[in-house]
């Protein structure tokens, strides 16, 4: 069951993280077209070959987004998907495209996530209450609006902090292990010119000395929002043989959703990562120990800690010891988020999740420059949406 592993990621585009934004504001449709053109050029595929697209949202349209993008870019597509999985969206986009390609529906699929600023509208835009409530909905009738938001339980800081609190209560307190994830990844960010923290080192003590935001999470354990954007191109293995770089096969995937708000999570601090990871590894026919790198969603330190553990790299409850025993930078024995992770690279909206996919492809293709890994054939990639509530996982494998 599952993918044969025929579909390949063959090109990408990624804009450097910026805060404050330096690139000029553009319409998000324009950014979509730019990202797509750059990723197609990277792959060596003509725009006219595109017959599938996967998208998230654009500022200019509330609905009918795929059709608007297809029209804007001049494509006739057989796959038109919009994915709504928060931080798990980019990983979810990749496997949906791979599945569609294996079904023979389409041959070349583009997916872009623009996250640079858009120009100020000459007419006022309606108030967007996501400015206040983030990933929680304050609309009347929303369970979050009625039972969670009035108590201050607004996504995301306090939700992830509650995961951390319960995890440590059950499995022991080692704050330095959480901080080490940030510090090790920062070593990789310091080797990545596109990272928001490319020139700012951070030690374990720096992390633990930073301001407490939501006990037990400190400021430096939380991603820095920034602008950016990324895209990837997938195609069939046949078409991939005539592209510019090493094709990266989508060998396995998994996805699992269980809840929206941690209060109602069925098995906290066990996460849906476990089911998604199990599916991805078994579909690819590899074990966690077989992968050369992990590029895992890290909106918070605790996200990465829980993901390492529930993906099966160590036993339940052992992630803190595992992190202490391994080097997580690109120089270490457990390369984890070699672009710096979102904690070091920055989180450019939904494109933050795409940074893990792009870095996996970059490493597998041998294009990571100063931080290139010696062994780079197989990568494990995850996306986390909501508060450990929407989980997607991929196993990617370079063509032989």
Partner 1 sequence: MTTDPGTFPKPRPLPTADTAPYWAALADERVVLQHCDACDRFVHYPRHRCPHCLSDRLSWREVSGAGTVFTFSVARQPTAVMFADEVPQVIAVVELPEGVRITSTVVDADPDTLRCGAAVVPVFDHQPGETTLLRHRLA
Contact 313, 322 (CB under 8 A): yes
Q: CA 172: distance to chain centroid?
A: 28
Interface with partner 1: number of residues (CB under 8 A)? 37
Residue 64 or 264 having the CB closest to partner 1: 264
CB atoms within 10 A of CB 215: 11
Interface region with partner 1, contact rule CB under 8 A, candidates 3-11, 43-51, 142-150, 375-383: 142-150
Show the binding pattern over residues 257-296: x = contacts partner 1 (CB under 8 A), - = does not.
----xxxx---x----------------------------
| In the complex, least distance from residue 172 CB atom to partner 1, rounded to whole angstroms | 13
Q: Which is nearer to partner 1, 71 or 215 (CB)?
A: 215
Which window, 33-41, 101-109, 149-157, 238-246, contacts partner 1 (CB under 8 A)?
A: 149-157
Selected from 166, 176, 270, 326, the binder of partner 1 by CB under 8 A is: 166
Contacts of 64 (CB under 8 A, 6+ apart): none
120: preceding bond cis by omega (within 30 degrees)? no
- Could you say which of 122, 152, 289, 374 contacts partner 1 (CB under 8 A)? 152
390-398/378-385 β-pairing:
antiparallel
CB atoms within 10 A of CB 318: 15
Shortest Cβ distance from residue 129 to partner 1 (Å)? Answer: 8
Partner residues linked to 234 by β-bridges: 9, 109
Q: What angle do CA 100, 96, 273 make, to 5 degrees?
A: 150
394 is written with which tokens?
Answer: 């991929």
Instruction: For residue 123, give the DSSP letter.
Output: S
Per-residue binding letters, 222-261, with partner 1 (x by CB under 8 A): ---------------------------------------x
Q: For partner 1, which is the closer residue by CB, 133 or 345?
A: 133
Beta bridge pairs of residue 385: 390
Smallest gap from residue 89 Cβ to partner 1 (A): 23
Contact flag: residue 158 with partner 1 (CB under 8 A): yes
Rule CB under 8 A: choose which of 64, 71, 84, 132 binds partner 1.
Answer: 132
Q: Considering the complex, what minimum distance in angstroms separates the CB of residue 165 from partner 1?
A: 5
**At its nearest, how many Å lie between partner 1 and the CB of residue 54?**
30
Q: How far is the CB of 152 from partner 1 (least distance, A)?
A: 5
Q: What three-state secondary structure class fits 398?
A: strand
Find residue 384's DSSP bridge partners: 391
Q: What is the rounded (10 degree) CA torsion for 300, 305, 308, 310?
A: -100
Six-digit token string for 56: 């998230």
- Which among 181-189, 206-214, 223-231, 232-240 is the span making contact with partner 1, rule CB under 8 A? 206-214
Question: Is the Cβ of residue 77 or residue 158 nearer to partner 1 in the bound state?
Answer: 158
Sheet (strand 79-82) strand order: 79-82, 52-55, 108-115, 227-235, 8-18, 248-257, 390-398, 378-385, 293-295
**Least distance CB 103 / partner 1 (angstroms):** 31
Q: Which residues bind partner 1 (CB under 8 A)?
A: 127, 131-133, 138, 140-141, 143, 145-154, 157-158, 161-163, 165-166, 169, 211-215, 217, 261-264, 268
């Amino acid at each position: 069951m599952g993918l044969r592993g025929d579909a390949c990621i063959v090109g990408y585009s990624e804009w450097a993280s910026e805060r404050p934004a330096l690139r000029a504001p553009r319409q998000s449709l324009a950014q979509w077209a730019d990202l797509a053109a750059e990723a197609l050029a990277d792959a060596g595929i003509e725009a006219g070959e595109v017959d599938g697209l996967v998208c998230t949202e654009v500022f200019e349209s509330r609905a009918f987004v795929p059709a608007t993008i297809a029209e804007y870019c001049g494509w006739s597509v057989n796959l038109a998907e919009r994915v709504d999985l928060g931080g798990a969206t980019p990983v979810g986009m990749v496997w949906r495209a791979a599945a569609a390609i294996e079904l023979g529906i389409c041959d070349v699929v583009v997916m872009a996530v623009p996250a640079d600023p858009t120009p100020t509208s000459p007419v006022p835009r309606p108030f967007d209450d996501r400015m206040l409530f983030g990933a929680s909905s304050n609309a009347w009738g929303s369970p979050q609006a009625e039972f969670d938001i009035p108590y201050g339980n607004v996504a995301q800081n306090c939700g992830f902090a509650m995961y951390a609190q319960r995890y440590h209560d059950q499995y022991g307190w080692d704050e330095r292990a959480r901080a080490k994830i940030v510090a090790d990844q920062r070593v990789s960010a310091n080797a990545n010119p596109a990272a928001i923290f490319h020139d700012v080192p951070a030690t374990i003590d720096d992390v633990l000395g930073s301001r407490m935001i939501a006990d037990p999470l400190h400021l430096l354990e939380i991603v820095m929002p920034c602008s950016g954007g990324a895209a990837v191109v997938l195609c069939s293995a046949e078409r991939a043989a005539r592209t510019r770089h090493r094709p990266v096969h989508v060998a396995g995937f998994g996805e699992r959703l269980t809840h929206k708000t941690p209060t109602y999570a069925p098995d906290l601090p066990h996460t849906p990562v476990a089911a998604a990871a199990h599916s991805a590894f078994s579909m690819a026919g590899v074990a966690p120990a077989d992968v050369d790198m992990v590029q895992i969603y890290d909106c918070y330190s605790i996200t990465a800690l829980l993901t390492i553990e529930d993906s099966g790299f160590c036993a339940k409850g052992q992630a803190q010891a595992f992190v202490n025993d391994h080097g997580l930078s690109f120089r270490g024995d457990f390369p984890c988020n070699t672009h710096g992770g979102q904690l070091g690279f920055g989180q450019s909206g939904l494109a933050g999740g795409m940074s893990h996919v792009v870095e996996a492809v970059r490493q597998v293709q041998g294009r990571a420059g100063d931080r290139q890994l010696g062994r780079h054939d197989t990568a494990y990639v995850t996306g986390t949406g909501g508060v450990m509530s929407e989980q997607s996982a991929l196993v990617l494998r370079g063509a032989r």
